[in-house]
Amino acid sequence: MPNQNQITKNKKYDLEERTAKFGENIISFCKVIPKNIINNPLINQLLRSGTSVGANYMEADACNSKKDFKHKIVISKKEAKESTPWLRMITKANPELTEESRVLWKEAHEFVLIFSSIINKTK
């Protein structure tokens, strides 16, 4: 029977779980951003791109063809990449959120690298 460390380690490599957790973390992060005329559009954009990463990955995982799979992975990559400038702008507008934003930015960037690798391996 696997111990808790093995289960946690395996979850790190479970992209469906990892992308879902990213979306949940984006939602939690957006809830703490002060609502105002500057932040509101940034929050909306980040919510859309950040929660789309996992949704599109789940669609890719359920595809019946390689072409459709690759298309959905490309969308997941685009959404992860799109999340990074919104995080940057939110950090500019709210410097007190820099550390939380940095953690999310790093995860989004890792998704871009992972999805790029999957795309390159899918012929």
Q: What is the CATH number of the domain that holds 38?
A: 1.20.1440.60
0.85 surpassed by pTM:
yes
pLDDT of residue 2: 46
Q: What angle do CA 69, 109, 61 make, to 5 degrees?
A: 20
| Tens of pLDDT, residues 63-88 | 999 999 999 999 999 999 999 999 99
Residues 6-41: tens digit of each pLDDT = 444 455 569 999 999 999 999 999 999 999 999 999
User: Per the structure, how many domains does the chain have?
Assistant: 1
CB 7, CB 55: distance < 8 Å: no
- Average pLDDT of 107-114? 98
Domain that holds residue 32: 4-121
Per-residue b or e along 66-87, where b marks 16 or more CB atoms closer than 10 Å to that residue's CB: eeebbbbbbbbbbbbbbbbebb
Are the beta carbons of 19 and 76 closer than 8 angstroms? yes
